[in-house]
Amino acid sequence: MAEEGSNDEPADHGAAEPDHGGVTADHGAAAPEVWHRVHPLTPILESLGVLVGIFIAAAYGLQNFMQTAIEDLARGDGVDLGFAGWLRSHPLVILGVVGGLILILLITALFSWMAWKVMGYRIDSEAIYYRRGLLSKKLRKARLDRVQSIDLQQKLLPRILGMAELVFDVAGGTDSNISLKYLSKKRAETLRDELLSAVRAKKQGAQQGTTTSTAGQSAEVASTSAPGIVNAPAVDPSADPSAGSSETGAVSGIAGEPALDRTVPERRDDSIGVRLSKRLGSLADGASHEAESSINELLAPYQVSANVNEEGEIIRVPVHRVVVSSLLKSETIISLLVVLLVIGVSIALLVLGLTEAFIPMIVAVIPGLFTAFSAFRKNLDNANFVVKLGENGLAVNHGLVSTSRKVIPLDRLQAVCLHQPLLWRKAGWWKVEFNIASAGGSGESNILLPVGDIDQALLMVGLALPEPQLPDDISAATLVRSAMYDRKSEDPQAGRAEELFHGQPRSSRLIDPLVWKRRAYAVTGSLLVLRMGVLDRRVDFVPHVRVQSMSYHQGPLMRSLGLGTVAVHSTAGPIDPRVTHQSVDEAKQFFSEHSERTRLARQRYDEEARTAKEGRL
């Protein structure tokens, strides 16, 4: 297989056009430096979309021809092959078509070769640069100190060819990410490791420089004056602005937040996974026994234990479990039921002798089968789901056809939820998702656990959240199980935990006739816990220090029933936490108290970091 080469030709120069979050979009190239070329097959793989479109159009035409032919045969007529006969009598037309296709392939090959010649990347001590474009040239730049994570992805065809793609999650807008396509898998893995080391060194250097800076050039002043950096909003208009800001000594918000600041000791409101990472650092040196002991010590309130193998794996989801859980999802079942219904109606029409209606309906089943398969295949992306605890968070590998490797930074998780579809109850399976402060696109996966038993769910929730800070007679496991199963929880202390939950008033049963008895919220020393859903159970967890802001809402119907809803704002993601349909007095009291609670929690969280940094000066 051809390897990537290097190109020392001088790059073109052009005026840089600033983009989001430290990424620069150019219509020229960078300074004259050594550029490394990507894999020679990259332009061809990127143009496969056009070929797939042509194939789909041809398949659609073939389907119409076959449908017409079958209908003609069902009526006793012969298949019209007049066009095929005309082609046989005009061989020059066939030669012209074949010659045209060969010419198109040659032009495509020439264009791909020229496009590959101008594609490339280079790396220096400050940033990574990626250029491409034959007619319209573009250069993108990602500063190393703004890189949040580097994911390695392999779609089906690149995987077969031994190629991989590096995706750089860069702080900024949704257009900030850079995809480096394509490298050989070995080169991509090596480059990823090198760049992760460079990113860590860059951020640690920036942190050390911050702690030794003078008062007039403190990081606090820089974070409020630097262009392009936006602080998170306070939890309340009258609250202290520090309630939504990031740690002192680090750039505020998601733009520039370090992957994991080990210069700050463990804090009470850090998630258990962050505290564990600070204790152990990287597990790549065979520290599995120490890791297992530390994980089990920190997760003791959740009454679960982790088995860490020599490679640092803490969870591996079997393929068959993902397959079965995918089949038990509502979208898959609905698609299959529709297909079966159409087939049943078609057979009934055939029995009644309506053959003219039977043939079109049978042919129409084909797109439905593709739809059902697409819904099923989407869930297979989470097959071979493996979780390892790494230096900067959870390292996740997944994929059956296309594979992906990414790091989920636990210190940037804003909310976590547990979800159990109706048909998963018999197996006792749960899904764990999250919201994260990230510039990633909307198509990115927000899954901590695609499907797992109760112990695996508790393990992932425990790693992603801080200790709940509960009374001594209630454990974290008891609280979470009560949130998951409400009054059906078999925990011996479930009754005591249930006392922490505030349910909806009876007046809300007119709006929520099915769920008003289950919906409830509980407030602990560090978490807001929301219990929802009857058919599909759901539990949301929002740490106090991660609340962005809050809002109170009351529509006309709610006003007539004396109800109100409080939205607890988080970052974009699958979780939209709301304390729903409480009495007006209860909703307003919760809004006032929780605004102050989250403000003080964030203030204390930042003060612990500030004190630790000042103590090292």
Please give the model's pTM, rounded to 2 decimal places. Answer: 0.70
> Rounded CA gap, 387 and 312, in Å?
9
CA distance 10 to 33: 7
Which 3 state secondary structure label does DSSP give 124?
coil
Tens digit of pLDDT for each residue in 333-345? 777 787 788 778 8
Query: Among residues 541, 543, 540, which one has the least CA distance to residue 601?
Result: 543
Whole-number average pLDDT of the chain: 76
Unique residue bearing structure tokens 């609905």: 334
What is the C-alpha to C-alpha distance for residues 569 and 546, in angstroms, rounded to an integer? 9
pLDDT tens digits along 172-191: 555 567 888 888 888 888 88
Check pLDDT > 50 for residue 23. Answer: no
Match 């602005």 to its residue by tokens.
Answer: 241
Which of 2.30.29.30, 2.40.400.10, 3.30.310.220, 1.10.8.60 is the CATH number of 123-206?
2.30.29.30
What pLDDT shows up at residue 10? 40
Percent of the chain at pLDDT exceeding 90: 27
- The amino acid that residue 474 corresponds to is I
Res 282 pLDDT > 50? no
- Is residue 210 within 8 Å of 219, Cβ to Cβ? yes
Contacts of 282 (CB under 8 A, 6+ apart): 390, 391
**pLDDT bucket at 578, cuts 50 / 70 / 90:** very high
545: buried, middle or exposed (CB in 10 Å: 19+, 13-18, 0-12)?
Answer: buried
> What CATH number does the domain located at 465-615 have?
2.30.29.30
Q: Is 559 exposed, middle or buried (0-12, 13-18, 19+ CB in 10 A)?
A: exposed
Cα 72 from Cα 482, distance rounded (Å): 64
Q: Are 497 and 491 in contact (CB under 8 A)?
A: yes
Predicted local distance difference test score (pLDDT) of residue 602 = 93
- Give the integer Cα–Cα distance in Å for 407 and 232: 23
Sketch the domain layout of the chain as residue ranges: 36-117, 123-206, 313-381, 465-615
pLDDT given at position 167:
84
Q: Sheet holding 6-7: strands in order across?
A: 6-7, 35-36, 120-123, 127-132, 138-143, 23-26, 16-18
Domains 123-206 and 465-615 share a fold: yes
The pLDDT score that the predictor gives to residue 31 is: 46
How confident is the model over 246-258, as pLDDT tens digits? 333 333 333 333 4
| 36 or 289, higher pLDDT | 36
Q: Give the pLDDT confidence of 539-552 residue by residue, as tens digits.
A: 999 999 999 999 99
Supply the pLDDT for residue 252.
Answer: 32
Q: State how beta strands 147-154 and 16-18 pair.
A: unpaired
- The arithmetic mean of pLDDT across residues 26-31, rounded, is 46
pLDDT (tens digit, 9 = 90+) per residue, 54-93? 677 666 666 666 666 666 666 666 655 666 666 677 778 7
Q: How confident is the model at residue 264 (pLDDT cuts 50, 70, 90)?
A: confident
Q: What is the pLDDT of residue 51?
A: 66
313-317 β-sheet, strand order: 178-184, 163-170, 147-154, 403-408, 393-398, 385-390, 313-317
Average pLDDT over residues 497-516: 93
Asked if 595 and 569 count as a contact pair (C-beta separation under 8 A), the reply is no
Dig out the tokens for 242 from the structure. Answer: 């520090």
Phi/psi of residue 428, each to 5°?
Answer: 75, 30
Q: Is the pLDDT of residue 129 over 60?
A: yes
Number of H helices, E strands in the chain: 17, 24
Q: Which residue has the higher pLDDT, 572 or 537?
A: 537
Taking only the tens place, the pLDDT of each residue in 439-496 is 444 445 789 999 999 999 999 999 999 999 999 889 999 999 999 998 888 888 888 9
Residue 241 in this model has a pLDDT that exceeds 50 = no
CA distances from 345 to 70, 328, 337, 357, 482 (A): 19, 24, 12, 10, 46
